[in-house]
Amino acid sequence: MSKKKLVRAPEISGNTAGWLTTFNDLVTLLMVFFVLLFTMGSTDKNLMKEFQNALQSGLGVLGAGSKVSVTVNGSQRSLTMDGPLTQGQGETIPGDEEGTTQAIDDALTELAAEPGINVKYSNQGARISFEDALLFDFGKADINSSGFALLDEMAALIQKITCTVRVEGHTDNVPIHTLRFPSNWDLSTARAVSVVKYFVDGCKINPKRLSAVGYGESRPMVPNDSTANRARNRRVEIVLVTEGEK
C-alpha cells in the first residue's frame, strides 16, 4: 500500500489587507474627481467669463466684441462693442470702425470736463452722472431745455456702442410730498423714465437696450450734511453696462 505524499499549505502573509489600502486610495481619488466635476459645473458663469477675459487680456489674446479695460486720465473703463479691436497711443478698446476709439475717448473726456458731470469706470462699466439741475428743474421730472443738448451727446455715444444702458434716478434725503410725486422714489423713477423715453422717441435708440430705475435717497454719493452735498446727490446716472453685468 503506497503512502500518500503530504503537501504543505503555503504560508499566508500577515499583511492580508494591503490590497484594501490601494482600493481605498482609488475610491478616494474617484470621489475627488467627481466633486471637482460638480464644482466646475456649478461655477458662476459670469465669474468664469471675467476670469477668461482677464486671462486673455494678460496674454494679449482678444476676440471681436470682447471686453477690455483701458485707462483714461487715471480711470478704468470697460465697454463692449462689436467689430474688430483697434489700438491707438497705447490704449486698446473694442471698435467697429477706424476712429471709433478716439471718438469715444473724446466724448467721455468732454463730458467729464463739463461742470456737474462726473464720469467713473468700474467693473460695471462707465457711469456718467449728471447733477439734476443740468437736466431738470427743481422738483420736476420734465427735461429742461439745456438737458436735451446733453442727452443728445450721450445718445450719440450710445449709438456707437452695443452694450445695454441703465438710467438711474437719485435724490437727496429731503422729503418731497406733491400730488404728482408723493415720495423721492416717485421723483427719481419718473426722471429716469423721462430720460429713457427721450432716448427712444427723440434719439431713436433701440428700447431693448434701455432700462430705467429709481433709487430715491437710498444711494447717496456723499453724506447729505450740506447744501452742496445734497445737490450732488440729486442726480441722474447713465450706466453703460458691460457684458456680464446686465
Q: Determine the pLDDT at residue 150.
A: 92
The most confident of the ranges 45-49, 99-103, 124-128 is 124-128
| Cα separation, 57 vs 49, whole angstroms | 12
Residue 148 clears pLDDT 50, i.e. is over it: yes
Regarding pTM above 0.85, the answer is no
Q: Determine the pLDDT at residue 117.
A: 93
pLDDT tens digits for 155-177? 999 998 888 999 999 999 999 99
pLDDT tens digits for 181-190? 999 999 999 9
Residue 217 clears pLDDT 50, i.e. is over it: yes
**Ramachandran assignment for 83, one of left (phi > 0), alpha (psi -120 to 50 degrees), beta (any other):** left
Cα atoms found within 13 Å of the Cα of residue 151, Cβ hemisphere only: 28
pLDDT tens digits for 81-124? 333 322 233 333 334 444 556 677 677 888 888 899 999 887 77
Contact 70, 154 (CB under 8 A): no
Closest C-alpha to 124, from 194, 54, 67, 170:
67
